[in-house]
Amino acid sequence: MRDQAEELRMRMLQSQNKLGRSIAVVSGKGGVGKSNFSTNFTTTLSGIGKKVVLIDMDIGMGNIHILLGKTTPANLKDYLVGEKSIEEVLFEGPNNLQYISGGSGLSGVMEWTEEMFSRLIQAFEYLQKHYDYIVFDMGAGATSQALDLLVSVDDIIVISTAEPTSITDAYSMMKYIYYKDPDKNFFLLCNRAFSEEEGIDTTSRLELAMSRFLSKEVFVLGTLPEDPVVRKSVKEQVPFSILYPNAEITKKMKQIVNRFTDYKLEEEPTSKQSKFISRLKSLFSGRA
């Protein structure tokens, strides 16, 4: 009886110490529906009971809050410059999703300082302790800060379309990250496919290229179709997974979320050691 009680206590302690996984959603080129995927992926993920925070990393040009139909009085930039606390820039979206806006209406290029790096790391440490998943919707620009974040996160979700330029750019993005961290977890998705066959062909080509040229195994999440409900949901500023729960694309999104959560990772981050935070500290200190 004592052994069983001790085992239960250990399991509870491990659950309390477990840190949220950090995920970056990227694409090699713009126009592939990355931000739309991020909002629907996270609302679906939070809809199955996961604690999720979505962070718009396109500072000054973010559109996550617009896609969610929200007006936010504060954003990530306000936190980074010390005008707001992390709690003051966290807002609630559909299905209990929490999000941090990147802000819109670019007001000049922001020069990052050492204090901003420090505040960013403090925020991520806080969020890892309070959420199951921290999802970063990455901007199109490949700034040094964005690349540092991509190298540091636990998982990378790469979105491509069937267009040859999109496939090439998606591979180039993965190759860059792979050379920085060969152990990175890559998840592939074909978006806006006109058929299931087109989606399978796209992800298969990327999967084969990673295997043949880099000897790297990647995980295919699936395909999302080109669907008119996406445009309608953007116009209504409500995620399609909420506005059209019975649409084919919503069913596909649920399958993708289930594949992602069912994927067995070799190592779960714990409060004793967060590779995400330690990598960030190392990279940022190297740029100081």
Query: Is 197 exposed, middle or buried, given 0-12, 13-18 or 19+ CB atoms closer than 10 A?
Result: exposed
Q: Report whether pLDDT(188) > 80.
A: yes
pLDDT of 11 reads 45
DSSP secondary structure string for all residues of 17-48: HBPPEEEEEEESSSSS-HHHHHHHHHHHHHHT
Q: Report whether pLDDT(216) > 90.
A: yes
Question: Which residues, including other chains, have CB under 8 Å from residue 122's CB and lie 6 or more apart?
Answer: 86
Half-sphere exposure of 131 (CA within 13 A, CB side): 25
Neighbours of 16 (CB within 10 A): 10
Q: What is the rounded average pLDDT of the residues 72-93?
A: 94
Pairing of strands 133-137, 21-27: parallel
Q: Which of 72-76, 152-156, 281-285 has the lowest mean pLDDT?
A: 281-285
Per cent of the chain over pLDDT 70 is: 85
Residue-averaged pLDDT of the chain: 88
- DSSP class of residue 273 equals B
Q: What is the rounded average pLDDT of the residues 60-77?
A: 91
* CA-closest candidate to residue 172, choices 127, 142, 138, 217: 142
Contact call for residues 235 and 247 (beta carbons, < 8 A):
no
Summarize pLDDT for 13-40 with one digit per residue, the tens: 444 568 999 999 999 777 889 999 999 9
Q: What is the rounded average pLDDT of the residues 92-102?
A: 96
Q: Report whether pLDDT(204) > 60.
A: yes
104 to 75, 76, 78, 99: CA distances (angstroms): 9, 11, 12, 15
Reported confidence tier of residue 184, pLDDT bands at 50, 70, 90: very high
Q: Write down the pTM of the prediction.
A: 0.90
Summarize pLDDT for 157-173 with one digit per residue, the tens: 999 999 999 999 999 99
Q: What is the rounded average pLDDT of the residues 260-265?
A: 82
Q: Report whether pLDDT(48) > 70.
A: yes
Q: Which of 7-11, 104-108, 149-153, 237-241 has the lowest mean pLDDT?
A: 7-11
Pairing of strands 91-92, 98-100: antiparallel
52 bridge partner residues = 133
Radius of gyration of the chain (CA): 19
Q: What is the rounded average pLDDT of the residues 94-113?
A: 80
Is the alpha carbon torsion for 202, 207, 208, 210 positive or negative?
A: positive
Query: Is 31 exposed, middle or buried, given 0-12, 13-18 or 19+ CB atoms closer than 10 A?
Result: exposed
How far is the C-alpha of 86 from the C-alpha of 80, rounded, in Å? 9
Q: Which of 81-95, 124-138, 239-253, 274-288 has the lowest mean pLDDT?
A: 274-288
pLDDT of 110 reads 62
How far is the C-alpha of 37 from the C-alpha of 124, rounded, in Å? 22
- DSSP class of residue 110 equals P
Strand boundaries in 84-140, DSSP class E: 91-92, 98-100, 133-137
Q: Report whether pLDDT(2) > 50.
A: no
How far is the C-alpha of 7 from the C-alpha of 33, rounded, in Å? 45
Q: Which of 65-69, 107-111, 141-145 has the lowest mean pLDDT?
A: 107-111
